[in-house]
Amino acid sequence: MSKTFLFDALREATDEEMEKDLSVFVLGEDVGHYGGSYKVTKDLHVKYGDLRILDTPIAENSFMGMAVGSAMTGLRPIVEGMNMSFLLLAFNQISNNAGMLRYTSGGNFKIPMVIRGPGGVGRQLGAEHSQRLEAYFQAIPGLKIVACSTPYNAKGLLKSAICDNNPVIFFEHVLLYNLYDNLPDTEYFVPLDKAELVREGNDITIITYSRMRHHVMQAVETLIEDGYNPEVIDLISLKPIDIDSIIKSLSKTHHLLVVEECMKTGGIAAEVIAQVNDKCFDLLDAPVVRLSSQDIPTPYNGNLEKATVIHPQQIVDSVRMLLT
């Protein structure tokens, strides 16, 4: 076991897969000599050279299209978005090309590529650098979407994503890079389509993902002191959603709270609730409650920014309200 920061866990995953497979390469802005904005690719250009750790111009639509084309020919590109918000500039290449080509070619082409980078509300990064784009991409057929939340699952998920033969959108949170944990010294993978049972309980199911996992766990400490026994599930896979794990939990708790940093309108929580209503509505003893970010551009002002997202006390209050 070794103490590893989340950004280093992502770096280790990239390094291990590049060492095993010559078809894996990284491209993006400042991924080479600068080492990436959050140092996920630090020093990899020394080991692999400037063609496998490829610095690109500031032209997201161009290098995303190049990545799709390289994947069609058998390479396995890892595209780093300096900020996931900027990938809106490549939305056409991601949706109409990466997501659809395997289908529109009748299976003649596979698109084994990973699109990864930081997103989420940071500390006063402004509206255009604080977006949560998971709901944007969730509606696109042909994509897999995951959101890491710990150094352990970050490394295992990225290794699985690189090895997958489908395009994977890999969300990292800008405020989680300095989390650290003890990781196994042996190789491991984490499945792309399974939720993680973070804590077992029998009073209420709390579903969350990414940074909100840590806000939920802070709230759980207070809830336990109050005599509640919540079950916590980290979705990890945002597409497909692991509805089987949710059904299994609800068959025990019969109450559901969904906590996300995504926008409330059309967010991931909305899709979770829709699937719960479709497949296991009768398990619920009370209406589902969702806690989501406000539907406004994230303010630059620190106090206003803080007011737009969910905090542990709101989670505590919602559980108390549901179970009273």
12 is catalytic: no
Do 27 and 100 share a domain, yes or no?
yes
Do 142 and 237 share a domain, yes or no?
no
pLDDT at 235: 98
pLDDT at 128: 86
Do 158 and 9 share a domain, yes or no?
yes
Q: Which domain holds residue 109?
A: 2-183
Kindly calculate the radius of gyration of the chain based on its CA atoms and give it in whole angstroms.
20
pLDDT means over runs of 10, the chain (324 residues): 92 98 97 95 96 96 97 97 92 95 95 96 88 91 97 98 98 96 95 98 98 98 97 98 98 98 94 97 97 93 93 98 94
d(CA 35, CA 33): 5
Q: What angle do CA 217, 193, 160 make, to 5 degrees?
A: 100
The residue annotated as part of the active site, out of 12, 29, 60, 231, is 60
pTM greater than the 0.85 cutoff:
yes
60 is catalytic: yes
Domain of residue 220, CATH code: 3.40.50.920
Q: Looking at the domain assignment, is residue 189 inside a domain? A: no
Do 173 and 261 share a domain, yes or no?
no
The residue annotated as part of the active site, out of 17, 80, 129, 172, is 129
Say if CB 237 and CB 145 are below 8 A apart.
yes
CA distance readout (Å), 110 to 52, 78, 165, 288: 20, 15, 6, 39
Query: Token pair for residue 281?
Result: 């509505």
Backbone angles phi, psi at 77, to 5 degrees: -75, 145
d(CA 22, CA 18): 6
Do 74 and 130 share a domain, yes or no?
yes
Q: Is the dihedral of CA 50, 51, 52, 54 positive or negative?
A: positive
pLDDT at 58: 94
